[in-house]
A and B are shown apart, each in its own frame.
Chain A
Amino acid sequence: MIAQVDNLGHRFDQGWLFRHVAFDLNSGDRLLIQGRNGSGKSTLLKCLVGLMIPREGTFVVPEAIGYAALDQNLYPALNAIEHLELSADLRNCDPKSEALLTQVGLADQANKPCRTFSTGMRSRLKIALALQQNPSLLILDEPTAALDQSGRDLINSIMEVFPGAVIYASNDEADARWATHALTL
């Protein structure tokens, strides 16, 4: 089993955002998280990644998680290679810059500062950063938002060949085709 979530809940001052979230994920599983805006999809993902503390519940996830979210920003002065090197140094792993940038279609933009990147190119770099550590669990928040057709094809290929489990939040009906499980908040 890759991930085990039991009775997870989170609340802000206004009340509970979500409660009683529970699921188990194995290799090959693709869990789609849906819900209206503000239902807590991104918050749930941040709890699983370890960026927020859930108010209740237990969960077990692998140490190495790949996470990419639309609301994450990159360092504007650093280029794509420097991002991958920084990430590798902090995680103590191999940067694999060339292979990852080729995989996400940014090989020819490797030395440009991220401030010159479009939203779609930033999403691609975040995907590369998420894949860097060979995670067994990939968590993607709105993975296809802001991506063009080739970017969507990239996500499609990741969803098809990624050996571990994937949890992704999306409200795009086309993204539901990858899901083996679905959770509505």
Chain B
Amino acid sequence: MPSPFNRAWRACLRKEWRSEIRNPQGLYLSFLFGAMAMASIMFVTGTQRPTAEMAGGLFTIVILFSALQAVPRLFLAEEEQGTFDLVRQWGSLDALWLGKALFAGLQQFITALVLGVLFAGIIPLPIVSPIHYWLTIPLLGLAVANVLSLTSSIVITAQNRWILSTVIALPLLFPFIFLGISALRVSFGVGSLEGGWQAIVALLMYGIAPLAIGPNLARTLWNERKDPIQAPTGQHNEVKP
């Protein structure tokens, strides 16, 4: 018998999965934005051979671009389609956040792997260290998804929520750009293997951190049952029997 928390986050994850399978939006959006970013980059670079750092940077941009719309949509659409109040009144807000964040992570994990396969086929650079490449790519997708889940959940009821979710996320996403480039350039044969591993571990740690913060943040921010405010006693609206 799972604990109430485990039962709740699994239910949220299942709900997101069912909604996505029956009405695909997030995966399409994520993949199409990423593929479009990659096509644009390839079109601009043409036949030029990019440096390892440049290739790492380009792929990091592709991952960012694919996540910047798809992940916030998971959270912000709840408010826009009018289901946030429905699900919020049922409680387990921390589990609700975790279920959604895990689905966002899964979505970006899959997208990053598919885009990684495409990128490996398109980029005119040999992958010298495949283990660095294939570890960095899904980790980058997961980490970016987790940060965007965190920032989207903060602004879910704000009027300009779409802009805010990205604006707040940008400073938090900068470290991923550096870590992504550091790890990916090693996979293309530039830099020390130790440096690549350090970047991967940092990416992992940085990516996990939102999963520790997010549930607590959601429990605090999404819960409107705060301590009551004492008002001055005055006239009462008449309740007629």
Asked if A90 and B92 sit within 8 Å, CB to CB, the answer is yes
Q: Is B87 an interface residue when CB atoms closer than 8 A count as contact?
A: yes
Q: Is B241 an interface residue when CB atoms closer than 8 A count as contact?
A: yes
Interface size on B, residues (CB 8 A): 43
A92 and B237 in contact, given A74-B83, A75-B19 (Cβ under 8 angstroms): no
Q: Is B8 an interface residue when CB atoms closer than 8 A count as contact?
A: yes
Chain A residues whose CB sits within 8 angstroms of the CB of B10 once the complex forms: 89
Chain B residues whose CB sits within 8 angstroms of the CB of A67 once the complex forms: 89
A135: shortest Cβ distance to chain B, in Å? Answer: 11
What separation, in Å, do the CA atoms of A91 and B5 have in the docked complex?
A: 10
Asked if A78 and B91 sit within 8 Å, CB to CB, the answer is no
Q: Per a CB cutoff under 8 Å, which of A20, A55, A77 touches B237?
A: A20
A51 and B231 in contact, given A23-B239, A90-B91, A182-B240 (Cβ under 8 angstroms): no
* Contact digits for B208-236, partner A, Cβ 8 Å, 1 yes 0 no: 00000000000000011110111111111
Q: Is A178 an interface residue when CB atoms closer than 8 A count as contact?
A: no
Asked if B86 and A74 sit within 8 Å, CB to CB, the answer is yes
A58 and B229 in contact, given A77-B19, A78-B15, A183-B237 (Cβ under 8 angstroms): yes
Chain B residues whose CB sits within 8 angstroms of the CB of A57 once the complex forms: 228-229, 231
* Chain A contact patch, size range: 35 or more
What separation, in Å, do the CA atoms of A126 and B80 have in the docked complex?
A: 19
A46: shortest Cβ distance to chain B, in Å? Answer: 8
Chain A residues whose CB sits within 8 angstroms of the CB of B96 once the complex forms: 90
Q: Per a CB cutoff under 8 Å, which of B82, B88, B228, B232 touches A59?
A: B228
A51 and B237 in contact, given A58-B228, A73-B82, A76-B23 (Cβ under 8 angstroms): no
Asked if B236 and A113 sit within 8 Å, CB to CB, the answer is no
Stretch at the interface among A80-88, A101-109, A144-152, A155-163: A80-88
What separation, in Å, do the CA atoms of A54 and B224 have in the docked complex?
A: 9
Q: Is A173 an interface residue when CB atoms closer than 8 A count as contact?
A: no
Q: Per a CB cutoff under 8 Å, which of B4, B8, B81, B236 touches A7?
A: B236
In the complex, which residue of chain B has the Cβ closest to the Cβ of A46? B85
Chain A residues whose CB sits within 8 angstroms of the CB of B226 once the complex forms: 53
Asked if B229 and A56 sit within 8 Å, CB to CB, the answer is yes
* Contact digits for B51-87, partner A, Cβ 8 Å, 1 yes 0 no: 0000000000000000000000000000001110111
Q: Please provide the chain B residues from 107 to 136 with a CB less than 8 Å away from any CB of chain A in the complex.
A: none
What separation, in Å, do the CA atoms of A9 and B235 have in the docked complex?
A: 12
Most A C-beta atoms less than 10 A away, residue of B4, B224, B226, B233:
B224
Asked if A90 and B95 sit within 8 Å, CB to CB, the answer is yes
Q: Is B90 an interface residue when CB atoms closer than 8 A count as contact?
A: yes
Asked if A50 and B18 sit within 8 Å, CB to CB, the answer is no
What separation, in Å, do the CA atoms of A46 and B226 have in the docked complex?
A: 13
Chain A residues whose CB sits within 8 angstroms of the CB of B238 once the complex forms: 183-184
Listed by A's residue number, 16 A-B pairs whose Cβ atoms lie within 8 Å are: A6-B231, A7-B232, A19-B237, A53-B224, A58-B228, A72-B82, A72-B85, A75-B19, A77-B22, A89-B7, A90-B8, A90-B92, A91-B92, A92-B4, A182-B240, A185-B237
